Structure 1
Amino acid sequence: MKKLLIIAIAAIAVSVSSCNSNKSKTTGTDSIASDSVSNANIVFESSVYNFGKIKEGDKVSYDFKFKNTGTTPLIISNASASCGCTVPDYPHEPIAPGATAAIKVVFDSTGKSGMQNKQVMISSNAVNASTELFLKGEVQSLNK
């Protein structure tokens, strides 16, 4: 019985070690897959803009400047805001490696009051495919 147990443990150990050694082996297709991965990279000067205090009804506009620090063209596929009062305008043409551009975001404070934290979601082919930008500040009500 002990011999059977020892043989079973030895067989398990051999199969586990052979499974682990297969994981470390690479094939020619691994390098092809990594070559096809985008090397675009979007880096913003700042991802947060604090507009301070404004009066209700004022509009705030800010350009979120960025650079493609990658080695392939950066393509922004979408920019969407957390609410209809915030509108992003992004470049629709590819951004070359090393080039800079900006995403203009306009916040309309009509009907808003108090602290605001508006989010803009950016989707692209960059390594960091999803990026968030924020407009923050305080809207002072006209009733005060």
Structure 2
Amino acid sequence: MKKVILGLSALCMVAFTSCKEENAASKINSDNVAAAAERDATSSDFPVITFAEAEHDFGTIVNGTPVETIFKYTNTGDSPLVVSNIKSTCGCTVPTDWNKDPIAPGDSAEFTVKFNGKGNNQVSKSITLTTNTEKGSEVVKIKAFIEPDPNAPAKKAGSAAIKSVQ
């Protein structure tokens, strides 16, 4: 009996508090609507980053030869471009010297990518820029064909042993 009375009391409370004269349309502030419309109209003005070259080929290099290149880019959009971070796919490729200040529309900047030149055969690395463009990030690449060092000591072939299982 107590459960029934408690249940009816809870139902009455919900019914009395949810049935107010006030509706959702009366809660809309026209100043907020105008501000949101203005914000939405300008939100499509993203900066656009355009690279002079989006992929750099170092060609053929000898294993262990450090190389570097400079990536140049321009803000071709209508609002300031901010590059907040640049990182690579591994520690062998290090991006440095990028402009952390906003870049005005029409202005250019650059950053350096250093690659330690280690690997075998064709090597490709990606460098990701965290930006305020519409996509939020941009990617440039470096690649090189790495030949073995002719002056490196020859590696001794390994040995194998066969064990019998009984």
- Name whichever of 67-76 and 31-40 sits farther off: 31-40
Structure 1 residue 93: deviation in Å?
A: 1.5
Whole-angstrom distance in 1 between the partners of 2:41 and 2:132: 15
**4+ runs deviating over 4 angstroms:** none
Q: Unaligned 5+ residue runs, structure 1?
A: 1-26
- Name whichever of 74-83 and 124-133 sits farther off: 124-133
Aligned partner of 2:6 in structure 1 is none
Structure 1 residue 109: deviation in Å?
A: 1.5
More strand by share: 1
Structure 2 counterparts to residues 15-34 of structure 1, below 5 A: 28=34, 29-34=36-41
Structure 1 residue 81: deviation in Å?
A: 0.2
Whether the 8 Å contact between 1:38 and 1:125 is mirrored in structure 2 is no
Q: Which amino acid in structure 1 is aligned with residue 90 of structure 2?
A: C
TM-score (norm 2): 0.64
Structure 2 counterparts to residues 36-47 of structure 1, below 5 A: 36=43, 38-47=45-54
Instruction: Give the share of equivalent positions with the same residue, in percent.
Output: 30
Alignment RMSD, CA only?
A: 1.9
Aligned partner of 2:99 in structure 1 is 91
What is the aligned residue count? 117
Q: Unaligned 5+ residue runs, structure 2?
A: 1-32, 155-166
Whether the 8 Å contact between 1:38 and 1:126 is mirrored in structure 2 is no
Whole-angstrom distance in 2 between the partners of 1:98 and 1:33: 24
Structure 2 counterparts to residues 66-77 of structure 1, below 5 A: 66-77=73-84
**Larger Cα Rg: Structure 1 or Structure 2?**
2
TM-score (norm 1): 0.73
Change (3 A) 1:116 1:134: same
Whether the 8 Å contact between 1:41 and 1:128 is mirrored in structure 2 is no
Q: Which amino acid in structure 2 is aligned with residue 94 of structure 1?
A: P
Q: Which amino acid in structure 2 is aligned with residue 132 of structure 1?
A: V
1:104 aligns with 2:89: no
Whole-angstrom distance in 2 between the partners of 1:75 and 1:57: 34
